Amino acid sequence: MLREEYPRPQFVRENWMNLNGEWEFAFDDGDVGLREGWFRGEREFEKRIIVPFAYQTALSGIDDQAHHEVVWYKREFELADLADNKELKLHFGAVDYTASVFVNGQKVGEHDGGHTSFTLDITPFVVSDEAVTLVVRVFDPQKDETIPRGKQSWTPEPDSIWYTNTTGIWQTVWLEIVDAVHIEKLRMTPNVDTGMVELDLIFAGDVIGKRLRYTIHFGEILVAEDAVKLTQNHLQRDVAIYQKQIFRSPNHNDGWNWTPENPNLFQVEFFLEDDLVLYDHVSSYFGMRKVHTEAGMVYLNNRPYYQKLVLDQGYWREGLLTAPSDEALRRDIELAKEMGFNGCRKHQKVEDPRFLYWADTLGYLVWGECAAAPAYTEEAATRLTREWLEIIERDYNHPSIVTWVPINESWGVPNIHGNREQQHHTQAMYHLIHSLDKTRPVISNDGWEMTETDICAVHNYSHGREDESQKYADFSESIYDKDTILKSQSTLRAIYAAGFEHQGAPILLTEFGGIGFQTGNQSGWGYTSVKNAEEFVADYSRVMHAVYSSKALHGYCYTQLTDVEVEINGLLTYDREPKCDLKRIREINDQYFNQIVE
């Protein structure tokens, strides 16, 4: 079975059942399945698919890139005895786009949104010691431009910067048996300034009079242990981590705090219990990490921090949105760090929580982004808003996430420059995210035509070829200082939308480069092109010299980590093979970076 790892690394229970593997599968191009009762599970579907890979992928076993808007899944599993006080939770990592779920012929729930997780309580629909039939219907309307689809193509064939689409289940499906009395939600908010972490828990069931016991460890060191008698279904607790010990704080060095250089994590165990029964046991972790902006700079743990990011689309040749393995997620981070990058901007994708786990563990900054809808309508705005509510609830606790990016390059808000409705939408997203998460900066519209924003995020691919000296000179000048950046027109778009202006936010160049380098028989496009590895390294050095020479930039995001389909502008091929000696990329990154910090 592929993708066997526990899928929710920040909320771990020991007893779970992985439902990945072979399922029955069917296309329903005539959309007759509901009318004919396919949900009852009596029909044998003619195909087989390997979950969690979409039917468009090779790893699914189907490998069909044709558009099929309605698809069905079915599998059976055995259920051991389910005691009266237990509940059976069915979890889906992500299903694109609308999932209708049936258990033993009865509908148990529905979820809209192609990138976020959801859970259904299927206890009332199963019988102990009897086989359970699980059926899932997925509706993914290919031409609906109000759906947040990001880089997925909605045209008959993928083209340019849009890739093969994903339909159906593309992250792990799994089961848990929990007590009716259990921990429902968990938030952990570190406060580097006070040396405390706030624990915020919500419980299900009758917890009054029961107690929550927790332990916090830093490696082998027991930092805190306590037990609290519960008087309601919500508990907030501030716990001292530094405990007035100066070398735990970031005052002299990183101390016990989380950074890409020292990704320190605290392990937490929660026990919901009374004197006789352990109702629930959840394992988690957090990092002491603070991100804020001040005086035109981004700060990490109260120190200016220069972000060296790489744009990461999160696609694989054999799995599209789904990584072929947990190791593949880890390897992408290791390769990026090997090249001297300290983080990535996940582009138009809400990434698998396992990627975020490895980013937390290995020390890797992540800018969290969401797929955009192509068009602006009230329905598109509603759908995007709904997904962001679920994104923040799922990913809030990850220390690696340091910025939220709800809008990119005016995608989904094409008339934002002068259209107040669309401007209000980006402002609303900015304030909504801040209202749910006070710990991270938010970018209103990465690239150009920003409204209210914590970071001035600029895109500029105008560096030209090596023999286009004037283009390169203009590029260097356009990013050299604050005034020229704010006056520049990125792809004929103003940096700020009409009625808005720079308010002192840090300026980062968050898309640039995109040097195309064809390897083997592959063909495609980049923003500029070179013929061999030596030219590739030389052109990368040329572009990075202009970036590091800027007096205004406080970080960057280079395009991009890997090739994707017809895009050949990656530092790595689509199969993660280096296009040059990666040490040379790191030397360039470190050489110029060391010059600006000395």
Residues of the chain with CATH 3.20.20.80: 313-465+479-514+553-561
DSSP three-state, residue 282: strand
Q: Can you give the pLDDT at residue 594?
A: 67
Are the CB atoms for 322 and 171 separated by under 8 Å? yes
Name residues of the chain where pLDDT drops below 50. Answer: none
CB atoms within 10 A of CB 137: 24
What strand order describes the sheet that includes 16-18? 16-18, 173-179, 86-92, 118-121
What's the fold here for domain 313-465+479-514+553-561? Answer: TIM Barrel (3.20.20)
- For the chain, what's the residue count? 598
Model confidence over 100-142: pLDDT tens digits? Answer: 999 999 999 999 999 999 999 999 999 888 899 999 999 999 9
Structure tokens given for 123: 């206890």
Burial level of 553, CB count in 10 A (0-12/13-18/19+)?
buried
Identity at 303, one-letter amino acid code? R
Which class would CATH give 182-286? Answer: mainly beta
Q: Can you give the pLDDT at residue 487?
A: 87
User: How far is it, in rounded angstroms, from Cα 486 to Cα 515?
Assistant: 25
The alpha carbon of residue 204 and the mean position of all alpha carbons in its chain are separated, in whole angstroms, by 28
CATH code given to domain 16-178: 2.60.120.260
Burial level of 453, CB count in 10 A (0-12/13-18/19+)?
buried
Q: Measure the CA angle with vertex 137, ends 133 and 140; round to 5°.
A: 160
Q: Can you give the pLDDT at residue 39?
A: 97
Structure tokens given for 52: 């969690």
Structure tokens given for 291: 């991100």
Are the CB atoms for 395 and 368 separated by under 8 Å? yes
The alpha carbon of residue 303 and the mean position of all alpha carbons in its chain are separated, in whole angstroms, by 25
Residues of the chain with CATH 2.60.120.260: 16-178
Q: Can you give the pLDDT at residue 81?
A: 77
Model confidence over 559-590: pLDDT tens digits? Answer: 999 999 999 999 999 999 999 999 999 999 99
Q: Can you give the pLDDT at residue 160?
A: 80
Q: Can you give the pLDDT at residue 58?
A: 97
Q: Tell me, what DSSP letter sits at residue 496?
A: B
Q: Can you give the pLDDT at residue 130?
A: 86
What is the average pLDDT value for the chain, to the nearest integer?
95
**For the whole model, what pTM was predicted?**
0.96
Are the CB atoms for 441 and 404 separated by under 8 Å? yes
Q: Can you give the pLDDT at residue 2?
A: 80
Residues 6+ apart with CB under 8 A from 145: 154, 373, 374, 375, 380
- Dihedrals φ, ψ of 66, to 5°? -70, 155
